[in-house]
């Protein structure tokens, strides 16, 4: 289990071990936009619907905002802030699209294990797995220990679980198959370097 972190500060409860490589790597990508598409393909197993949605949202982020406003009252309260952020943030567009299409699920740092399990079961990549049976021995642990436990169990099936930070209150949990982790790490490193150049 690891946490990919764009911000510098985290809540203690979500400070998991990071396994991202920090070495210099070459990625066959002409732009960060292409990196985002490749990351999406790795997480979604080349889901064509997500790819088409990202193409539309990158071109006009207001489309994504409108869909979230229609689906959830909670988003309406923050629509002005989100609108400003989405206009020039492809990374946020990627994360929200993965969440909207259930390839990532939002968990809050105050969530209990039951809430996290509910979100895990809604991930498209885990829907065919009997999580209650396979992870029952993980249920009586602290949240950090719970993530370590489920991470070990899913790794036995060739699945890596990780989180992307959204803000100080919550993260997105997602899964990828372990054979794609090296490629995924290279893409993430490329994006991180571009952020450092901008900041």
Tokens of 31: 């732009």
The mean predicted confidence, pLDDT, of the chain is 78
pLDDT digits (tens, 9 = 90+) for 122-162: 999 898 888 888 888 888 888 888 889 999 999 999 999 98
Determine the Cα–Cα distance for residues 73 and 50; give it in Å rounded to an integer: 23
Order of all β-strands in the sheet with 104-108: 2-4, 159-165, 170-177, 104-108
Residue 25 has a pLDDT of 35
Q: What is the largest CA-CA distance in the chain?
A: 47
What pLDDT sits at residue 49? Answer: 96
* Residue-level pLDDT at 44: 95
Mean per-residue pLDDT, 102-122 = 90
Whole-angstrom distance, CA of residue 54 vs CA of residue 175: 19
pTM for the structure as a whole: 0.78
């Amino acid at each position: 289990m690891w946490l990919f972190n764009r911000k510098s500060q985290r809540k203690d409860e979500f400070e998991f071990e990071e396994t991202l490589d920090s070495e210099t790597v070459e990625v066959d990508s002409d732009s960060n936009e292409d990196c985002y598409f490749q990351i999406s393909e790795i997480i979604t197993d080349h889901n064509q619907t997500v790819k088409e949605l990202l193409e539309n949202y990158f071109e006009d982020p207001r489309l994504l905002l409108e869909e979230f406003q229609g689906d959830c009252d909670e988003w309406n309260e923050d629509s002005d802030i989100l609108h400003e952020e989405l206009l020039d943030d492809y990374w946020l567009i990627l994360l929200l699209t993965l969440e909207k299409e259930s390839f990532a699920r939002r968990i809050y740092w105050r969530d209990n294990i039951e809430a996290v399990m509910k979100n895990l079961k809604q991930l498209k990549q885990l829907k065919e797995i009997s999580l209650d049976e396979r992870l029952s021995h993980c249920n009586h642990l602290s949240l950090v220990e719970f993530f370590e436990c489920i991470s070990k169990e899913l790794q036995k099936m060739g699945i890596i679980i990780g989180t992307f930070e959204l803000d100080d209150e919550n993260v997105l949990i997602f899964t990828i198959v372990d054979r794609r982790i090296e490629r995924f790490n290279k893409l993430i490193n490329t994006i991180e370097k571009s952020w450092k150049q901008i900041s």
